[in-house]
């Protein structure tokens, strides 16, 4: 009988020794935690890479829509603004005219363009979230804009992509026409502006008459592959700085796909300010050129290169290694 009990206890001891001690368990947990910490940045990087690809595809589709529109409208871009109303939220955007070229004719047809964009009749359609106009890397995507201009509770669908009307360098404020601007004085024989040529970006920013008449592809002297058509300007109407810190704008003017933006840029660099410059929640900002190609402009791109690529007729000599 004693022998049987002795064997039973020995078997129990061996079974207990097959488990993990507390120290061993803590070591295993620490190893798993280390592996997770090492893998998490890689997973996040992979997810951001996928979001960036989606953003690039979005902008490529919009750019191709613009080119298709131009090919059927005498080489013209869509009008940036539909009327000479002073504020951008009082105007329908160029994106509205582009909707039929983006397989969104039903959305276009449901808008009453003879009424203000934020009218009671148009608000349900303006509130539509169009994934093609939003970058998935933008915080809160897919986004709706609650307040726009002097209106609250509008819940308009957001947009992260803008056209380019003109560009100015912050140092000397030389104003250069961009792809979407109508003829400027000195561009071609007998060329004239639809309004007096402004002397600074501040004057041009508040001149709606300049934005009714659209630019044309044939006005682009630097070449379609060297001139930007559309750029990422993500996160509006919130204002983001270089550190990704957001501030609430007192009177938010831009940011909805259905309403207009000024499209005036300071060429101060990339990812510095999303209200006056190129800005994306990537390692740079996505840009579509006038030939339909799409590129990621690096956050450390030189200001002179940004200016050259945003303007349409500066005759600058740019090396592809500077930006591709």
Averaged pLDDT, groups of 10, the chain, 324 residues long: 50 57 82 78 79 97 98 95 88 97 97 95 97 97 95 96 87 79 58 42 66 91 94 97 94 96 87 94 97 95 91 80 74
Phi, psi (deg, nearest 5) at residue 156: -85, 145
pLDDT given at position 66:
98
User: Three-state SS for 304?
Assistant: helix
Report the pLDDT value the prediction gives residue 35, as an integer from 0 to 100: 81
Spatial neighbors of 237 by CB under 8 A, at least 6 apart, are 145, 147, 148, 249, 252, 253, 254, 255
**pLDDT at position 36:** 76
Burial class of residue 18 in the structure, from the number of CB atoms within 10 Å of its CB (0-12 exposed, 13-18 middle, 19+ buried) = exposed
pLDDT value at residue 48: 87
- In the chain the beta strands, taken as DSSP E runs, fall at 144-145, 156-157, 161-163, 166-168, 175-177, 228-232, 239-240, 246-247, 264-266, 284-289, 294-298
pLDDT attached to residue 50: 93
Question: How far are the Cα atoms of 167, 248, 249, 292, 298 from residue 321, in angstroms, in the given order?
Answer: 22, 37, 37, 19, 12
pLDDT of residue 118: 95
Distance separating alpha carbons of residues 281 and 244, to the nearest angstrom: 8
Instruction: State the burial class of residue 225 (Cβ atoms within 10 Å of its Cβ: 0-12, 13-18, 19+).
Output: middle
The predicted pLDDT at position 320 comes to 74
| SS3 assignment, position 290 | coil
pLDDT at position 1:
46
Instruction: Tell me the domain boundaries of the chain.
Output: 46-322
Contacts of 97 (CB under 8 A, 6+ apart): 69, 78, 79, 108
- pLDDT given at position 314: 77
What is the pLDDT, as a whole number, of residue 189? 41
pLDDT computed for residue 208 by the predictor: 79
């Amino acid at each position: 009988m004693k022998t049987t009990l002795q064997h039973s206890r020995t078997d129990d001891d061996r079974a207990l020794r097959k488990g993990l001690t507390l120290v061993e368990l803590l070591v295993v947990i620490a190893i798993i935690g280390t592996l997770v910490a090492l893998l998490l940045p890689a997973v996040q990087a992979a997810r951001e890479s996928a979001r960036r690809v989606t953003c690039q595809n979005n902008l490529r589709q919009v750019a191709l829509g613009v080119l298709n529109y131009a090919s059927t409208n005498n080489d013209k871009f869509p009008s940036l603004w539909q009327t000479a109303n002073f504020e951008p939220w009082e105007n329908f955007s160029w994106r509205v005219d582009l909707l039929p070229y983006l397989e969104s004719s039903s959305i276009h047809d449901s808008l009453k363009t003879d009424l203000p964009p934020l009218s009671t009749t148009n608000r349900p359609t303006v509130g539509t979230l169009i994934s093609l106009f939003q970058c998935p890397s933008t915080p809160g995507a897919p986004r709706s804009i609650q307040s726009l201009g002097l209106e609250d509770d509008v819940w308009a669908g957001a947009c992260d992509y803008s056209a380019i009307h003109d560009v100015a360098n912050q140092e000397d404020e030389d104003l250069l026409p961009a792809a979407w601007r109508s003829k400027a004085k000195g561009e071609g024989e007998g060329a004239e502006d639809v309004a007096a040529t402004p002397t600074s970006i501040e004057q041009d920013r508040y001149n709606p008459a300049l934005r009714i008449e659209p630019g044309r592809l044939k006005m682009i002297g630097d070449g379609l592959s060297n001139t930007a058509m559309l750029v990422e300007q993500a996160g509006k109407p919130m204002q983001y700085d270089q550190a990704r810190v957001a501030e609430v704008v007192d009177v938010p003017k831009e940011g909805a796909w259905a309403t207009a933006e000024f499209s005036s840029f300071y060429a101060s660099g990339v990812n510095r300010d999303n209200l006056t410059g190129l800005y994306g929640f990537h390692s740079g900002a996505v840009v579509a050129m006038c030939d339909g190609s799409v590129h990621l402009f690096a956050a450390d791109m030189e200001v002179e290169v940004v200016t050259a690529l945003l303007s349409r007729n500066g005759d600058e000599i740019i090396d592809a290694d500077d930006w591709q």
